Structure 1
Amino acid sequence: MTPPVLVTGGTGTLGRHVVPLLRRAGRRVRVLSRRPHDSGDGVDHVVGDLRRDTGVDAAVEGADTVLHLAGAPRGDDEAARVLVRAAARAGVRHLVFISIIGVDRVPLGFYRAKYRAEQAVAGSGVPWTVLRAAQFHDLVLAGVRSLAAMPVVPVPRGLRMQPVDADEVAARLVALALGGPAGRVPDLAGPKVYPVADLVRGYLRVRGMRRLLLPVPVPGRIGRAYREGANLSREGVVTGGRTWEEFLAERVGTP
């Protein structure tokens, strides 16, 4: 019987796209999550917690490939260390990790932890692949919705984004997982770069809403990094095909 593919974060934004693609590729899937879920249709759910290091060895046992998609505002580096230690003990043959464009250039605590997680994967002794992606359309939409709920919308000055579709990231991850370890692969970003104000205006337009946009400065080293485009893709990037406008038309509606 073919060994299962273990997916951490399999019930999250990205995991909900990745798991069905793995199943359509004929792979058995095991999902590690902190809460019980019903298993079935070729997907087994096991309970464990990377940050508490509970249930991880049992989840990894027998898996030949691990897709590490789980993320949190804090502790991504320690969670990765727990996972790679378990993967090394279990003899996993391929560890695939999703990271973020700019983790080594934007001085945010979350990004720094994600970068340390990359380093843990690369130094684990387990054959590995790391893909850095831009922010997903879904996550950008959540942020824009929150901003648009205010009568005056604060817009970070100088901040640009290149959002990418989660479906396209999932397809790329599955292709990488089914292939051999490739190390750091080209980044994946959306087809267009947008000032945040344009992302907000696009959302307001499809919702038929009117709001005053108020540019606000982002101070310090973080603001400087964003103004310099440290969160944007560089040479060698792979770009997806689905634009922010196309995503909004499907998810939110048309004007």
Structure 2
Amino acid sequence: MTTILLTGSTGLVGSRLLPRLVAAGHDCRALVRRDTELPDGVTAVRGDLDEPASLRAAVEGVDAVVHLAALFRTTDEAAIWQANLDGTRHLLEAVSTHAPGARVVMASTGNVYDATAIRPSREDDACSPGAAYPASKVAAETLLRESGLTWSILRLPFVYGEGDGHLASISALAPRFGLHPAHTYSVAHHRDVAGLVHLALSGVTDGRIVNLTDDAPVTVWEMARLGGGDPVDGSAAPLENPWSGRMDGSLARELGFRPEVPTIHAAAAAGIL
């Protein structure tokens, strides 16, 4: 049995990943700042990534750490950097000191890639993040890669499914962030986030950055429609760069990953949006 610490366990991704880790037979700990409801079989460990001294009890004795905790949808850039870079630094220092043999799997984002890309972005492409959230994730990736620990980095796309509300938010997010209705984005279902995390925990992705995508990108217009929100205005100016937001998922498939939910339309047909 593998003992795993999960950060970000109450978030959109973590709350759906945690019960799947338990179901797979792992002994799971969840880092929490306050009392919260967790799946049966999960040990809550009180701690805060902003408080390094609180992390020793969380990491001692673990075989792996799955680091999902992140801050992004806020205009407070200082808070973003504190959570995503400083928080990661504190966690890695705790693992290095108290569980140096543990494998660290960190979630990052496809937003780190250059928005002027001329094809779907690959893991070895240069990163050119234009905002605090992806910039802080690139910096956190560097910390992990240089930590001396056993690591892998999973760059996630737009994640959806299981009634998480993410698709339903597109109608509001599109005008806020200037998302073109015809723009296609790489996406993945929560089931496939879990699938790639399971692969990473096996050691297959050690020392690698790996993109996660399903088999077909989807337009902002389609996401809004599938999410049941207000229609996204389709009269926008011509699309500047159709490749921005697209990731190449070839490496994951070479390593053995196969999406359980191949497309968002398959998810709709199965009733698992």
TM over 0.5: yes
* Aligned AA (2:266): E
Structure 2 residue runs without a partner (length 5+): 73-79, 113-126, 253-257
Q: Does 1:233 align with 2:242?
A: no
CA change 1:116–1:174 in 2 (3 A) is same
Give 1:78's match in structure 2, choosing from 83, 86, 90.
Answer: 86
* Aligned AA (2:90): V
User: Aligned residue for 1:61?
Assistant: 60
CA change 1:147–1:59 in 2 (3 A) is closer
* 1:137-195 deviation per Cα after TM superposition (whole angstroms, max 9, x unaligned): 246414225369x9xxx752663211110111112102311336611243111221223
Does the 8 A contact of 2:84 with 2:137 survive in 1? yes
User: Aligned residue for 2:123?
Assistant: none
User: Aligned residue for 2:170?
Assistant: 144
Does the 8 A contact of 1:76 with 1:117 survive in 2? yes
CA change 1:132–1:122 in 2 (3 A) is same
Does the 8 A contact of 1:8 with 1:69 survive in 2? yes
User: Aligned residue for 1:88?
Assistant: 96
CA RMSD of aligned residues (A): 3.0
CA change 1:107–1:84 in 2 (3 A) is same
Distance 1:116 1:142 in 2: 30
Does the 8 A contact of 2:110 with 2:156 survive in 1? yes
Report the TM-score when normalising by structure 1: 0.79
Shift of 1:66: 0.7
Does the 8 A contact of 1:5 with 1:66 survive in 2? yes
Does the 8 A contact of 1:38 with 1:45 survive in 2? no
Matched ranges for 1:1-255 at <5 A: 4-37=3-36, 41-53=40-52, 55-73=54-72, 74=80, 75-90=83-98, 91-103=100-112, 104-138=127-161, 140-146=166-172, 155-156=179-180, 159-179=183-203, 182-204=206-228, 211=231, 213-216=233-236, 227=241, 229-234=243-248, 236-238=250-252, 240=259, 241-249=261-269, 250-251=271-272
Q: Secondary structure at the match of 2:158?
A: coil
Distance 1:198 1:142 in 2: 11
Structure whose CA Rg is larger: 1
Report the TM-score when normalising by structure 2: 0.74
Distance 2:13 2:45 in 1: 18
Aligned length, in residue pairs:
237
* Aligned AA (1:82): H
